Structure 1
Amino acid sequence: KPGRSCGWSPRDRPKVPAGTKPALQRPGRVREPAEGTWTGQGGENPLCGSSLSAELPCLGLGPAFPVTNRNFPSPGSPKLLHSPLRQAVVKALDQLAQQGKIKEKTYGKQKIYFADQDQFDTVSDADLHSLDASIMALTAKVQGLQQSCRHMEAELKELTSALTTPEMQTEIQELKEECARYTERLKNIKAATNHVTPEEKEKVYRERQKYCKEWRKRKRMTTELCDAILEGYPKSKKQFFEEVGIETDEDHNVTLPDP
């Protein structure tokens, strides 16, 4: 039996995933490949893992070409060089070529087989224009759906980042409690009898300005002195501060008040 001699059985037929549609191809005649051009799909020999390998017996090889209408190189890829199927495939392809069921073209040591294009009807220009218009319409539809999907994704992202209703209710309750505490504190301050006189308030402001001015002056003097020392210091500024024991305002997250 052809299937037995080639090591093939119906169980070896590749399975097509459910819901998968065959790739659409533009009808019409396919051009013969130019010399030196690899015609395999996906960078691999289509005889391995394709519909052709499933139709390996001589009587099943022929239908694979009209169905796909693609060019197939001869089984000379590294995957088939040492395979027991190689001789059977070569013999089957040669036999189909002699019978005129497929065409053969030789480029040096490589042979390329393709379906006889005379068996296909010539597609008119009107049909091609109709297909082009259909492709353009479907492309526009896809672009519209993609844009709608992007809008929905942005809306979904905004909704997922927003607070939920229970979270908003909890936050509102916390804000109400905080507002009540500040209201009570303001009420107690207004009810106090030990108010500060304008003279005392002005005195406190003047002392604050005096201390801030002195603070700014000492910080500038210290910075200039440290910069002068660091010009000849072999280590970094941070290491110098650690060795001397200098603590900066930034170490304690303190900001110098505005004058």
Structure 2
Amino acid sequence: MSKGRAEAAAGAPGILLKYLQEQNRPYSAQDVFGNLQREHGLGKAAVVKALEQLAQQGKIKEKVYGKQKIYFADQDQFAMVSDADLQGLDAKIVALTAKVQSLQQSCRHMEAELKELTSALTTPEMQKEIQELKKECAGYRERLKNIKAATNHVTPEEKERVYSERQKYCKEWRKRKRMATELSDAILEGYPKSKKQFFEEVGIETDEDYNVKLPDP
């Protein structure tokens, strides 16, 4: 046995007695060894020997359950706990339980928000979606311009069809614009800069940048 290990073994009874009194709960020799070996460098044999020695001296209590021995501090050394003290402890337990539940609920909300953000479009995907929308809108505007220029050649049926398509495309425009706005707002919640700076950095151009106004329904 090394000198350090021998010194640790010699001081084991005092260390274990203090530990059991501070924790005031039952432990097996294996539990005590696992909890203290790293901090105090105690070997398992030294722990077992010290616990048996303390039990023989009456400084701690020993209970045998089948093949296992359990050790705990002598309860006679502790002051009696009054009903008022117990009620105070119960109140603390209730308060702490409520706090834990509140924290768990907050964690669930944060996890849900994180899941929503991670499932949203990435910045490159959003840029691509915006470019596609701009291309579609440009095509619709050009088509509408040509239709307006040839008003005298449009039949009532074709006019109605075009109007219906216009309604459909405007509805899709609003839907996609709202989706893009919601996605950018979600990203901006954790973005350290302003909305304008974010749009400039990722190259997002809005309808307002080109004085484009969504037609009335």
Give the structure-2-normalised TM-score.
0.47
Give the structure-1-normalised TM-score.
0.41
Structure ID, larger Rg: 1
The structure carrying a bigger helix percent of its residues is 2
